[in-house]
Every structure is written in structure tokens, then in C-alpha cells.
Structure 1
Amino acid sequence: MRRTPRAPGHRTAATLALALALTATATAQQPARAEPAPVPGTLTEVRAELERFYHDAEVATDKYNAADEKVTEQEKRVHTLQGQIETAETKLGRLTRLAGAAARAQYRGDSLPAEMQFALAENPEHALDNASLARQAQQATQGVLTALTATRKDLGTRTDKATATLKSLRANRRAKDSERRSVEKHIDDAKKIESTLEKKEIERLAALDKKDADEAQAKWVGTGVLDKVGTDATPAGRKAIAFATRQLGKPYVWGAEGPDSFDCSGLTSQAWLAAGHVIPRTSEEQWRRLKHVPVEDMRPGDLIIYFADASHVALYIGDGKIIQAPRPGRWVYVSPAASMEILGVVRPDA
């Protein structure tokens, strides 16, 4: 369970010192003692730092995933425009050749080329062999050439702008990736902190997590909200839940979207893809672009968004529970829906 993140600012050295002090104190205990005496405040502080490390890393990864998604979309736009340019150039080349053939034929006093006759005749079986129709054909061809040239120019301008945007988006993605790698170094620090803790301290951390989660859930349930929420999922919602259920026990990995591991939004986006709905890749975009519904109106299959910065998401499965991919070192599992700060609920199949 992660609480509301504190203000940014990594205090890795201080936190490691706390953890080492905690370990040293636990080690100094006599083996005969069943329960090491707790070091006042230190375990709570270490826990808070761990939560913040993981939260910051999740935010950084979410921003990278969002940047990567924008790059992918822009690459598709550029590819489409380039295809339209190639089509326009092919038409321009063909009509330019026809216009040239028509001009040469008129100069020689001949009839229009057979291809031009076929292209411009209302009835392809009839030849366009008089001067009036020849002039009309030339004028029509020139008009088409002018329009196509303008279209080609416009497509070129749009492609240049789209390519420039793509370049900027790729640079932003590189920056976000650099930020993510920097934050992931802090995740290594968090793992070092955890590795310094004694088994009993790790158990105490887990117990604190469970205690806070249970208290938050009890308070939420006590509001009567579960008496109001829907209990029946839509057919698509049931498919999303079935997909997420099959992923239980798979590890959390930053930026992963299956099939062997997931991050939080990788799990929810793939669950709804399996249900036939393409939704945004990141929790922030899921919150921004999907339909919001009041918490008391949610139903199984909806997505619960967590924390003020929309940095975490889980799939509501009913009975006050969610399936989520929590953080590194954990696995996809079922947990209380209110174990974290709820920002709101979105519905992929609204």
C-alpha cells in the first residue's frame, strides 16, 4: 500500500543511514530475545521513503510511456502523409505524361492518344479526334495538374511539419527515458534499503501496510458506498476481469504490458484490449480521456485511478476489491479498493 506521496527530493543517503541504523540495532539484540526492540520512528521513516521512491519511479515511467505513445501516433501520421504524397506524385506523373502526349499530338495535327481518349471520353468507345474536344481535354488536364500540384505542395508542407513534430516528440521521449533511468537508480537504492532490513523488520513493514490498508478500507466501506455501487459487469467488463484474473501472480515490471509481466496501466490497458476496447496506455491518459463516473456508480470492470497525480490505476472486480500490479518486487494480486488514495473512477466501455 502506498500513501499520498510527499514532495519531491531524494534523501537516499539519509534513508540508507536510517536503514543501516535500524539493522544495526536489530543485530545488537541478544539472540534469546523473541522480538527486537523497535527503533522509535525509523521504521516508519524508512517505509515512507520506500513509498516515495516507488511512487516517483512510477510517475517517471508513466510519463515515458505517454511520450512513447505520442511518438508512435505521430509516426503513423507521418507514414500516412508520405503515402498520400507518393499517390499524388504517381497521379501527377501520369497526367503530366498524358498532357505532354496530347500537346505533341495537337502540334502534329494528330488525334489525341488512345489513353487520353479513354481517360476523358464520356463513352470510351468514341475517339476524341476533333480540335474542340482536344482543347477541352487539354484544359481539363491542366486543371487537374494544377490542383494536384497544389495538393502535392500542401502535403509536403504538412509532412514537413509532422516530421518536425515527430523529431520534437522523439527528443522528449529521450528526455523522459533519461529521467526514468535516473529514477530507476533510486529504485535500486530502495531495494538496497529493503535488503538491509532484518526479516522481522520486513514483516513489520508488511504488517504496517496491511494495517493501513484494512483501516482505509473499513473507513471507505463504512460510508455505505458499497451499498450503492453496481454489482454486474458488462460483457466487455467481464472479459477484462477474466483477463486480469489470469495474470494473478505475474511480476510487476516498469513499463511492461505482458504477457509475462505488467505495470499498473499495462495491466489495465491489456485487460480492456482483451475485451475489445483500445484505451490509453498510461494511468494519466486513462484518467484524462476515459469517461468519469462517480465512485458510487462504478461497476465491476471500471478502472479506479489513484493519487492526485493519477499515477496509479487498478481494475475494480466487485465486492470492494481490485486487481492491480502494485510496484517492483510485488506481483499482480487482489487487494482492497480503498487501500490507496482514490482520485476517481473511469469507464472504458461507457
Structure 2
Amino acid sequence: MNRRRCVAAAITLVCAVTVLTAPTAAYADPRPSHSGSPDSGSGGSGSGGGSDSSSSGSPSSGTDRLEAVRQKIDDLYRQAGSATDAYNLAKEQSEKQSSEIVKLAQSIVKGQSKITALKKQAGAEARAQYRDSGLPPAAQLMLSGDPDSFLDGADRLRSGQQAQKNLLAEMDQTQKDLTAYTQDASDQWQKLESNRKKQAKKKKDIQQKIEAAKKLESSLAKKERERLKKLEEDQEFKAQTAWLSSGILKEINNKASAEGKKAVKFATDQIGKPYVWGAAGPKSFDCSGLTSQAWLAAGDPIPRTSQEQWKQLPHVQVKDMRPGDLIIYFSDATHVGMYIGDGAMVNAPRPGRNVTIGGAGSMPILGVVRPDK
């Protein structure tokens, strides 16, 4: 497993470095190769007129059509990713609200028990007074005719009156607390139901977007699907090349923290497992499910969604990032990957793809966050 990860990371880096030293045309032409070699060159698609056909417009129009399909599929998965983030957030909030309702219910039970006990105590005092002819303690002292008993009893009377006031105050406060707990529980229940409805709506949205993308992709012939995948890879490759061309790697040289190393190990150990929206392991992950579980394994729990990770975690400059940091992608923070060094990151890309290593600059970077500060 370790050897496989090292090889994958090395291949990523070598390819990136190679493309920087190669002519632009080496990766700009997305036409398929029938020989399996990246150099499709003059071999074309068969007959002697193969090379001329590349300028006839037919291959170009086919590529343009596939590029439009790629962009449409990418857009659908982006929309599904945004809905997935909203779904995960609503689910997380629902879990917190359910937990809060349980705590409030426990507080209500305790409060009711306390009220019952206080009422019994007040009833006992009332019955004691009734047994003493129903006269208030002060009147009983005045009628005792014994000055010494009166003085001794006065102190006890004051203490008893204070205890009674405390008892009544405690009953009043407990009743107020009970009312507040009940209201809080009702509010939390309403929020819980609201979030459950949000989950149901987002789940439907996600399924519709993913099914539309799958249907669009499955409508292509096998060779077209292969070309489509190559177009995706070319797009990521160009973005990564442009990012590396800025010389950014010369500035990124920070070492991982102890926790960061643990997070990276967890994330890379998941390579090959499928992307499933809403999943956070152990057999499948979505993008933020992978990063949140990796940092949980490292001992630093972080928010579940990429948008909340962007909102709540400390931001660092791209040039200052180190292995274990999270790279947030797209302007709406709907995708996240974990930087692992050498210009690479590990992420769960999208439905139909597995957890993999990719270029850190292969998608538009919004910013970088650091879970372990």
C-alpha cells in the first residue's frame, strides 16, 4: 500500500514536471489515440487520408460536442456537490438537534421530579401546622405564656420562615426552568423537522442531478466515454500545469505537523474507495466526508462540510500550506481536497470516481484552511 501511494504521487509530480518542459501541443490536442500511445500523430484513424481529416472539421466538431457534454456533466455534478453540502449540513444540524432534544427531555424529567419532591416537602409543613391547631407559628409563640420558650422559638421561627421562603423560591425557579426547557424542546423539534424537510429536498435534488449526469454520459458510445474521460483529464492537467507554471512550488516547502501526518495517512489509505454522496466511510466517501474523517482520525474533529470547513477553520496562504491542510475549491466552497505535498492532493472527486491523488491546482482554488492551527 505504501509503495503504491509513493508511486502514484511520484507519477503525478513527474507528469506535471514533464508537461512544463514539453511544447503546448503535447497536451493541447485531446483527440483519441487508437494505439494507446499519447502520440497519435500521423497514424490518424486508419486510411492514408487520416492526417488530412483532422483539418476537415469533423474531428474538431466531435471534440467540441464532447467538450460541451463534459461541461454539462461537470456542471450537473457541481450542482449535485453543492446540494450534497447542504444535505450534509442539514443532516449534521438534525443530529445535533436530536441530541439537544434528548438532553432537554432529561432536564424536563429531572425538573418534574424536583417539583414533586418540593411539593411533598411543602405539604408536610402544611400538615404540621394543621396539627398545631392551624395557627401560624408566630401566633402559637405569642400564646405560649412562656417568655423563655418565646425567645428560643423566635430564632427557630425566623429560621423556619427563611427555609419556607427558600422552598417557595426554589419551587418557583424550578417551575420557570421547566417551562423554559419545554419551550426549548418545542423550538428544537420544529428546527429538527425543518432540517429533515431540507434533507429530503436536497436528497431529491442530488439524485436528480446525478441521474441526469449519468444518463448523459451513458448515452455516449464506449469510445466517446473514453474520449470524454480523457477530456476531463486534459482539463485537470492544463489547470495543474498553469498552477505549477507560476512557480508556486518553490514557495510551498512547509513540513506536516504530527497531526497532519496522521490525517494524510488516513486519507491516502482510502485511495481506490468509491465516491458516494453523503458518505463518510468506512467503505465510501464524499469529498468532505473524506477530509473530516481524516482529521477525526488525527484527533482533531472538524466541520463535516466543505463550506463549513471554509467558514470555521483558520485560513492560510496557498504558499504557506503544508501536508494535511485542506484546499477548498470553487467560489462556493463546494469541493475540498487534502494537500499531501509535491503539488499533489488526495480527494474524492465525484460520483463514478474513486478516492484518488490529483494535482492540487487541477481545479480553481478558493483558499486553504488548517485544521490543527
The reply to whether residue 283 of structure 1 matches residue 306 of structure 2 is yes
- Corresponding residue of 1:102: 125
Quote the offset at 1:342 in angstroms.
0.4
The reply to whether residue 194 of structure 1 matches residue 217 of structure 2 is yes
- Corresponding residue of 1:349: 372
The residue correspondences of 1:233-272 to structure 2 (distance < 5 A) are 233-272=256-295
The residue correspondences of 1:1-350 to structure 2 (distance < 5 A) are 37-38=58-59, 40=61, 41-109=64-132, 132-133=155-156, 136-350=159-373
- Corresponding residue of 2:24: none
Greater CA drift, 141-150 or 337-346: 141-150
Quote the offset at 1:181 in angstroms.
1.3
What are structure 2's unaligned runs of at least 5 residues? Answer: 1-44, 134-151
The CA distance in 1 between the partners of 2:182 and 2:83, in whole Å, is 31
Q: Counterpart amino acid of 1:38?
A: P
| Distance verdict in 2 for CA 1:137–1:85, change over 3 Å | farther
Contact 2:111 2:174 in 1 (8 A): yes
Greater CA drift, 148-157 or 243-252: 148-157
| Distance verdict in 2 for CA 1:261–1:144, change over 3 Å | same
Quote the offset at 1:169 in angstroms.
4.0
The CA distance in 1 between the partners of 2:257 and 2:167, in whole Å, is 52
The CA distance in 2 between the partners of 1:298 and 1:53, in whole Å, is 30
Quote the offset at 1:84 in angstroms.
2.1
| Distance verdict in 2 for CA 1:154–1:80, change over 3 Å | same
SS at match of 1:345: strand
Contact 2:236 2:359 in 1 (8 A): yes
Greater CA drift, 200-209 or 142-151: 142-151
The CA distance in 2 between the partners of 1:158 and 1:229, in whole Å, is 52
* Structure 1 runs (4+) greater than 3 angstroms displaced: 31-37, 129-132
Quote the offset at 1:298 in angstroms.
1.0
Contact 1:92 1:149 in 2 (8 A): no
Query: What is the alpha-carbon root mean square deviation over aligned residues?
Result: 2.5
| Distance verdict in 2 for CA 1:159–1:225, change over 3 Å | farther
Q: Tell me the TM-score normalised to structure 1 length.
A: 0.79
SS at match of 2:205: helix
- Corresponding residue of 1:116: none
Contact 2:115 2:171 in 1 (8 A): yes
The CA distance in 2 between the partners of 1:313 and 1:137, in whole Å, is 66
Contact 2:104 2:184 in 1 (8 A): no
The CA distance in 2 between the partners of 1:92 and 1:50, in whole Å, is 62
Superposed CA offset, 1:163-221 (max 9, x none): 23432342243234223313422321211221222233222222222222222222212
Contact 1:74 1:162 in 2 (8 A): no
SS at match of 1:38: helix
Q: Percent identity?
A: 48
SS at match of 1:322: strand
The CA distance in 2 between the partners of 1:188 and 1:91, in whole Å, is 55
SS at match of 2:59: coil
The CA distance in 2 between the partners of 1:72 and 1:152, in whole Å, is 28
Q: Tell me the TM-score normalised to structure 2 length.
A: 0.74
Quote the offset at 1:135 in angstroms.
5.1
Quote the offset at 1:346 in angstroms.
0.8
Quote the offset at 1:252 in angstroms.
0.3
| Distance verdict in 2 for CA 1:57–1:151, change over 3 Å | same
Quote the offset at 1:319 in angstroms.
1.0
Contact 1:233 1:300 in 2 (8 A): yes
| Distance verdict in 2 for CA 1:287–1:275, change over 3 Å | same
Q: Counterpart amino acid of 1:83?
A: Q
Quote the offset at 1:158 in angstroms.
4.6
| Distance verdict in 2 for CA 1:148–1:326, change over 3 Å | farther
Q: Counterpart amino acid of 1:227?
A: K
Contact 1:60 1:176 in 2 (8 A): no
SS at match of 1:314: strand
| Distance verdict in 2 for CA 1:202–1:141, change over 3 Å | same
The CA distance in 2 between the partners of 1:230 and 1:166, in whole Å, is 49
